Amino acid sequence: MNFSVLQDKIYSWINGEVALMPGSYVVIWQYSNAPRPDRPYISLLIPTITPVGHASYGKVDENGIITILSQNLMTLSIIYHGQESPQNMLGQQVLNWILLSTKKEYVNQIFRDSGIGYLTRLSQNTLQNLVATSFEEQTILDLSFLLVTDIIDDVGLIERVEMSGEYLYANGNTRHISTIIVED
């Protein structure tokens, strides 16, 4: 899984859905040192990708390369930054629109093409944060996805095996084994 391709597909999905809504919202990936646009805007963040279950190991090829498939849970945080009030729940409306879009066929095709599967909504909260010197209302939607990652490993090949020793039978007799060498 190419992480930048995954980010591009997620961005295209969110930006496409937001474009269908009334109003104008800039969508950005949230980085700690990145400039922020004027409010309201939407930021995207992948705070965790956690391996789950056991990896699936493929066969070692003729060059000693193996592909390991790792299953991971990925959290996507979609954050509406605006100026909310109890009477104005615009952030909730915008994020509900995005949440409902996970049911659309074209969105699920984006997920399939990206190698991810939508699992569930984890949480949706509105809170007030201090940003710079003023308070900013943020509505946060956390979604959970399952993603499979290919891990390529060079495990090498056994080129030479050398054995020698004794074999002990159940009756107590032993048999000496001279050195055996197996080479590729």
- Write the DSSP string, the chain: --HHHHHHHHHHHHHHHHHTSSS--EEEE--TTS---SSSEEEEEEEEEEE-S--EE----TTSEEEEEEEEEEEEEEEEEE--BTTB-HHHHHHHHHHHHTTSHHHHHHHHHHTEEEEEEEEEEEEEEEETTEEEEEEEEEEEEEEEEEEEEE-----EEEEEEEEE-TTS-EEEEEEEEEE-
Query: Cα(95)–Cα(81) distance, rounded to whole angstroms?
Result: 11
Q: Indicate the pTM of the whole model.
A: 0.76
Domains of the chain: 3-157 (3.30.70.1700)
60, two tokens: 């070692």
Q: Is the pLDDT of residue 123 over 90?
A: no
Mean pLDDT of 161-168: 82
Q: What percent of the chain has pLDDT over 90?
A: 46
Residue 45: the pLDDT is 95
* Average pLDDT taken over every residue of the chain: 86
- Would you place residue 135 in the very low, low, confident or very high pLDDT band (cuts 50, 70, 90)? low
Q: Is the pLDDT of residue 21 over 90?
A: no
Give me Rg for the CA atoms of the chain: 27
Q: Is the pLDDT of residue 31 over 90?
A: no
Look up residue 57 and give its amino acid: Y
Residue 134: the pLDDT is 64
